[in-house]
Chain A
Amino acid sequence: MRMNVLPVPAARWRAACEDAAAEGARLRCLYAVEGERGPELRALLGLADEERLLTASLAGAPVDSVLEVFPAADWDEREAHDLYGVRFAGRDPLRALVAHPPQPERWMTPVHGHGTHQVAVGPIHAGVIESGHFRFHVVGERILRLDLRLFYKHRGLQRAAEGRALEDGLAFAQRACAACAVATSVAYVQAAEAVLGLVPNAALRRARTLLCELERLYNHLNDLSAICAGIGFAPGAMAFAALKERAQRLNARLSGHRFLFDTVAIAASPPQLDERPSPADRDEVRALRAAAAAGWRELLFAASVQDRLGGVGVLTADDAVALGAVGPVARAAGVRRDARADGDPRLWYGGLQPAQPVTASGDVAARAEMRAVELEQTCDILEDLLARPPERPDTRPAGRPQPIGIGRVESPRGETVCVIEATGGTLRRLHLRTGSYANWPVLAHVVPGNLLPDFPLINKSFELCYACADR
């Protein structure tokens, strides 16, 4: 994939984005950087044969919003405003996202009318759930509008990583989120290796792919458990929770950690994985696949489960494309988009086709089915990789070091993008846009029109992390 850094004058920012959109570009991320003369703006756009990074120096002046060109840029622009003070023309009001102003009108949509009222949930939730606030505007039980107020857990990880050596910055990317630790770490090292002018050899690509799929295995089992819990179907929730535990124990056996922490490094792979995985590990993957398939079949025949899943929280394919939905959420809506399939050669997914449900109805049922279908695919990959003899993971130099590197990995929740800007081995800017970050605004879009008691179920079918959105 060719990387093309394209500086544009601030006045042509929107026009340059429109040009790229006309060529079929997809927004990967938009972020701001502290420049010498005020904030600078970047937009990473994915084209068929090129990753185009638009850069603009703003010199303190407002820049045209590109929300109409790329609706997926909604949160990115609000974050650039709140964290870097970038002013966007054509967005009024620009509601607060990362900042938490006390005045409701500065972060909430005004909703008026006969019988409308608000339901406030969080930041502390009733179960064992991460912190974040949901404000529902409802009439009776029908949701009119959902305002998300996340970033309660904003730890400033990206800014904290700035000024550190490339290898020290990895910990900040990894700890953004435990459940996506491998995906964010691999995206980070891909970006760092691009900066250093290195490419991984086949053995290293396979080792990282194995880790990514182990992560997907326990996460998808967790999601199926969570969807059952969202309905209150305890037998399913418990059955899949027990399978998730087995998957995490497999992680611990193969890598030494239940969440696969510290298994990814720049130009290296974990020592544990260099040893021969035992046939017992492959048998465990096979047994997990059979048990998950049997559990899924039971869910299909449980009428009280099926009654709740269909037609709830529907995302149309058009909206999924426009809003930049990623991962199982997008695929359940019929958008065959998967970062594993569209050709990044730095992992080992040759020939993988994005999975799809029987009917891509975009509802909770389709999102649940996506997990079951993708589990099969993941087990296929794992069995293949665990059967291979050990090789020596390595990297080789390829081309000159670059000032900017990008990494792109399909996390269990969707495409995770990492951009690194560095000078002489020192991080100048780290930007992470995880699958959860891309899908949170999609969730807020899907919910209106549904009943309030169905929200936990819709939320669980997305199963997004707060931590990797808040960072």
Chain B
Amino acid sequence: MFVLLHRLQRLRRDLGLPAPARTGSLALRHVDAGSCNGCEHELTATASPVYDLQRFGLNVVASPRHADVLLVTGAVTARMAEPLLAAYEAMPEPRLVAALGDCALGCGVLADPGELAAPLEEIVTVDLRIPGCPPTPAQIADALTGALDLLRPRASRPRRRRQ
């Protein structure tokens, strides 16, 4: 184990990741609304030593009740619309919704339209757009660190439900 730790230490030194320029933190909750697993792989990679998103105060939390940001991947399937909305409703305000990847943004979605609920933006208000198929970990890291400031000067966002 100590050999592994030593190697990781050396990797961190070699990478020379810059110190965070911003301060603050965001708790992230991820919901896969019908993705191809690509965005999940890349989102997981942002926690690897090579990107280490946690040094910016960005953490994935287990419950939407503890989250500031809802990270949604995939086109919203008919069966995931309800769990997605339940997760959104469980979040405390103020809260942000990030559409992660082209499918969540409604670009070039491959699916039988009958199996999809509605585009994400018609279900909840999207505050942050992270395009890409899938977006690289570096792009995800950039977008999320850019969102650190979004929740600061606070006025509660109105809830919006599907019509």
The interface stretch among B37-45, B120-128, B145-153, B154-162 is B37-45
B8 cross-chain contacts in A, Cβ below 8 A: 235, 238-239, 242
User: Do the beta carbons of A295 and B32 come within 8 Å of each other?
Assistant: no
B114 cross-chain contacts in A, Cβ below 8 A: 156
Q: Which of B42, B48, B113 contacts A242 (CB 8 A)?
A: B48
Q: Which of B50, B63, B77 contacts A153 (CB 8 A)?
A: B77
Task: State the CA gap A320–B120 with chains docked (Å).
Answer: 41
Task: Number of B interface residues at 8 Å Cβ cutoff, please give it.
Answer: 47
Query: Would you call A16 an interface residue if the criterion is a C-beta within 8 Å of the partner chain's C-beta atoms?
Result: no
B63 cross-chain contacts in A, Cβ below 8 A: 126
Query: Would you call A201 an interface residue if the criterion is a C-beta within 8 Å of the partner chain's C-beta atoms?
Result: no
A155 cross-chain contacts in B, Cβ below 8 A: 34, 75, 77, 110-112, 115-116
Q: A128-B60, A153-B79 are in contact. List 18 more A-B contacts (CB 8 A).
A: A123-B80, A126-B62, A128-B30, A129-B40, A131-B33, A153-B32, A153-B80, A159-B112, A160-B110, A160-B111, A178-B41, A235-B4, A235-B5, A245-B45, A245-B50, A245-B137, A258-B136, A294-B3
**Within the complex, what minimum Cβ distance (angstroms) separates B47 from chain A?**
8
User: Do the beta carbons of A129 and B115 come within 8 Å of each other?
Assistant: no
On whether A298 and B48 interact (CB within 8 A), knowing A156-B114, A178-B38, the answer reads no
A261 cross-chain contacts in B, Cβ below 8 A: 133
The interface stretch among A134-142, A168-176, A307-315 is A168-176
Task: State the CA gap A32–B111 with chains docked (Å).
Answer: 19
Task: State the CA gap A1–B135 with chains docked (Å).
Answer: 41
Task: State the CA gap A160–B74 with chains docked (Å).
Answer: 17
User: Do the beta carbons of B110 and A154 come within 8 Å of each other?
Assistant: no
On whether A177 and B83 interact (CB within 8 A), knowing A156-B112, A159-B112, A242-B11, the answer reads no
B112 cross-chain contacts in A, Cβ below 8 A: 155-157, 159-160
Of all chain B residues, the one with the shortest Cβ separation from A100 is B79
Give the interface SS of chain A, mostly helix, strand, loop or mixed.
loop
Query: Would you call B55 an interface residue if the criterion is a C-beta within 8 Å of the partner chain's C-beta atoms?
Result: no
User: Do the beta carbons of A178 and B36 come within 8 Å of each other?
Assistant: yes
Query: Would you call B31 an interface residue if the criterion is a C-beta within 8 Å of the partner chain's C-beta atoms?
Result: yes
Interface residues of B in 11-38 (CB under 8 A from A): 11, 30-38
**Within the complex, what minimum Cβ distance (angstroms) separates B28 from chain A?**
9
**Within the complex, what minimum Cβ distance (angstroms) separates B158 from chain A?**
24
Q: Which of A123, A466, A467 contacts B83 (CB 8 A)?
A: A123
Task: State the CA gap A229–B116 with chains docked (Å).
Answer: 33
B7 cross-chain contacts in A, Cβ below 8 A: 239
Interface string of B84-114 (1 = CB under 8 A from A): 0001000000000000000000000011111
User: Do the beta carbons of B32 and A242 come within 8 Å of each other?
Assistant: no
User: Do the beta carbons of A156 and B111 come within 8 Å of each other?
Assistant: yes
B35 cross-chain contacts in A, Cβ below 8 A: 130, 153, 467
Interface string of A231-275 (1 = CB under 8 A from B): 001011011011011001000000000110100000000000000
Of all chain B residues, the one with the shortest Cβ separation from A302 is B1
On whether A241 and B62 interact (CB within 8 A), knowing A261-B133, A466-B37, the answer reads no
On whether A130 and B77 interact (CB within 8 A), knowing A155-B115, A242-B48, the answer reads no
Cross-chain pairs A/B with CB under 8 angstroms, 6 sampled: A153-B74, A157-B111, A160-B113, A175-B36, A176-B36, A241-B44
**Within the complex, what minimum Cβ distance (angstroms) separates A220 from chain B?**
14
B110 cross-chain contacts in A, Cβ below 8 A: 155, 157, 160, 171-172, 175
A181 cross-chain contacts in B, Cβ below 8 A: 36
Query: Would you call A93 an interface residue if the criterion is a C-beta within 8 Å of the partner chain's C-beta atoms?
Result: no
**Within the complex, what minimum Cβ distance (angstroms) separates B49 from chain A?**
5
B36 cross-chain contacts in A, Cβ below 8 A: 175-178, 181, 467
Task: State the CA gap A298–B5 with chains docked (Å).
Answer: 10
**Within the complex, what minimum Cβ distance (angstroms) separates A158 from chain B?**
8
Query: Would you call A127 an interface residue if the criterion is a C-beta within 8 Å of the partner chain's C-beta atoms?
Result: yes
Q: Give the 5 A-B CB pairs with smallest separation, nearest first.
A: A156-B112, A178-B38, A126-B62, A241-B48, A155-B111
Of all chain A residues, the one with the shortest Cβ separation from B60 is A128
Task: State the CA gap A129–B32 with chains docked (Å).
Answer: 7
User: Do the beta carbons of B133 and A131 come within 8 Å of each other?
Assistant: no
- Which of B42, B111, B133 has the most CB atoms of chain A within a 10 A radius of its CB? B111
On whether A152 and B79 interact (CB within 8 A), knowing A241-B48, A244-B45, A245-B50, the answer reads yes
**Within the complex, what minimum Cβ distance (angstroms) separates B109 from chain A?**
8
Of all chain A residues, the one with the shortest Cβ separation from B62 is A126
Interface residues of B in 66-83 (CB under 8 A from A): 74-75, 77, 79-80, 83
User: Do the beta carbons of A238 and B136 come within 8 Å of each other?
Assistant: no
Q: Which of A127, A151, A178, A295 contacts B62 (CB 8 A)?
A: A127
- Which of B4, B11, B77 has the most CB atoms of chain A within a 10 A radius of its CB? B4
User: Do the beta carbons of B77 and A179 come within 8 Å of each other?
Assistant: no
Interface string of A277-317 (1 = CB under 8 A from B): 00000000000000000110010001010000000000000
Q: Which of B37, B47, B50 contacts A178 (CB 8 A)?
A: B37
Of all chain A residues, the one with the shortest Cβ separation from B45 is A245
On whether A154 and B77 interact (CB within 8 A), knowing A123-B83, A127-B60, A131-B83, the answer reads yes
User: Do the beta carbons of A298 and B41 come within 8 Å of each other?
Assistant: no
A97 cross-chain contacts in B, Cβ below 8 A: none
- Which of A100, A128, A171 has the most CB atoms of chain B within a 10 A radius of its CB? A128
B44 cross-chain contacts in A, Cβ below 8 A: 128, 241
